[in-house]
Amino acid sequence: MYKILEAAELADSIYKFVVKAPNVSANCQPGQFVIVRTYEDSERIPLTICDYDREKETVTIVVQVIGAGTTFMKDLKAGDSFCDFVGPLGRPSELIDMPSEEISSKKILFVAGGLGTAPVYPQVKWLHEHGYKADVIIGSKTKNMLIMEDEMKAVADNLYVTTDDGSYGRSGMVTKVIEDLYNEGKKYDLCVTIGPMIMMKFVCLLTKKFDLKTIVSMNPIMVDGTGMCGACRLTVGGEVKFACVDGPEFDGHLVNFDEAMKRQQIYKTAEGRAFLKAKEGNTHHGGCGHCGGEN
């Protein structure tokens, strides 16, 4: 069991949990994720690591209530426990292993949409702690959905906040802010964007025009998180990849977003999973327990 040390509601239907997880906190890096089960018979939910403290042996996750599994989580309090807290999974951010002189030479822009602010934060914090700078754009639908503004302000070089409805900060989508910054004379060498798949798609379409390398964090449907089930299959640069072991970060200009979004919808039904099994052939692992086979 993994004890919850802190639990708080950050915004409407968005919750933060600080969890005692010694093995995960000792080994995790920005960009990685965990798979969490609230109870023994609960679904397995992949959640990107928001923060960690190696001395206190804690890992912080942020959860948005969107289904049955996350609904169970919202009622948990400090002192309660998660049944499973497995990780770290996935590959760390490419910034972690990048030579110091290379990072220092880059002007980096992070673009976070909605809950994507949570996984953006540890990367920006890591850069800040190592003496590097980065600009950050946070976007949310409304002011009431905005999270972690103060935390991000403490580690970002420049922070730009925008809301779709104009209720706080700038008005409009994150793509509008990117265009505004370029029109104001800003230039960047690397963009990292995390958020809803449709948002990342349109950020990548825009940054491609600016010839700006863009990294995205893909979080499609996952089941086991170790490359066994094939649920998180996607196409990157014409090649089949699995977000849980090959990612979750990929070159956004190479990701087939339309296929990924369509597959995510199809995978939700038994008929859809059977269709994908037939269509994907040998590249469809089939170990998810839903569609049969162990290819």
Question: What tens digit of pLDDT does each residue of 212-260 get?
Answer: 999 999 875 656 555 566 677 788 999 888 887 888 899 999 999 888 8
Angle in degrees, 0-180, between the axes of helices 197-209 and 257-266, rounded to the nearest 10: 170
**Burial degree of 203 (CB within 10 A; 0-12, 13-18, 19+):** buried
Tell me how far apart the alpha carbons of residues 83 and 64 are, in angstroms, rounded to a whole number: 19
pLDDT higher than threshold 90 for residue 110: yes
Q: To the nearest whole percent, how much of the chain has pLDDT over 70?
A: 85
pLDDT on residue 226: 59
pLDDT higher than threshold 60 for residue 275: no
Sign of CA dihedral 196, 254, 49, 106: negative
CATH class assigned to 93-217: alpha beta
pLDDT higher than threshold 80 for residue 203: yes
pLDDT on residue 61: 94
Q: Which of the four pLDDT bands, split at 50, 70 and 90, describes residue 282?
A: low
pLDDT on residue 257: 87
**256 DSSP 8-state letter:** -
Tell me how far apart the alpha carbons of residues 51 and 250 are, in angstroms, rounded to a whole number: 21
Express each pLDDT in 262-272 by its tens digit: 876 655 444 44
Tell me how far apart the alpha carbons of residues 62 and 17 are, in angstroms, rounded to a whole number: 6
Sign of CA dihedral 182, 186, 190, 193: negative
From first CA to last CA, the distance across the chain in angstroms is 32
pLDDT on residue 260: 83
- CATH topology for 2-89? Elongation Factor Tu (Ef-tu); domain 3 (2.40.30)
Long-range pairs for 173-178: beta carbons < 8 A, 24 or more residues apart: 173/139, 173/199, 173/202, 174/111, 174/112, 174/113, 174/137, 174/139, 174/199, 174/203, 175/202, 175/203, 175/206, 177/137, 177/139, 178/109, 178/111, 178/137, 178/203, 178/206, 178/207
pLDDT on residue 200: 93
Encoded tokens for 210: 């600016």
Express each pLDDT in 124-181 by its tens digit: 999 999 999 999 999 999 998 899 999 999 999 999 999 999 999 898 999 999 999 9
**Burial degree of 270 (CB within 10 A; 0-12, 13-18, 19+):** exposed
pLDDT higher than threshold 90 for residue 201: yes
Q: Which amino acid is at 94?
A: E
HSE-up (13 A, CA, CB side) for residue 43: 15
Judge whether 2-89 and 93-217 match in fold.
Answer: no
Core vs surface per residue 44-79: b (16+ CB within 10 A) or e: ebbbbbbbbeeeebbbbbbbbeeeebbebbeebeee
Tell me how far apart the alpha carbons of residues 72 and 216 are, in angstroms, rounded to a whole number: 29
**How is the chain split into domains, by residue range?**
2-89, 93-217, 219-295
β-partners of residue 91 are none
Express each pLDDT in 37-63 by its tens digit: 888 887 888 888 999 999 999 999 998
- Please provide residue 77's backbone torsions phi and psi, each rounded to the nearest 5 degrees: -125, 170
Encoded tokens for 41: 């018979």
Dihedral over alpha carbons 152, 157, 163, 164 (to 10 degrees): -120
HSE-up (13 A, CA, CB side) for residue 164: 9
Tell me how far apart the alpha carbons of residues 33 and 126 are, in angstroms, rounded to a whole number: 16
Q: Which residue has the higher pLDDT, 90 or 69?
A: 90
pLDDT on residue 124: 96
pLDDT mean across residues, the chain: 85
Residue range 192-210: average pLDDT? Answer: 94
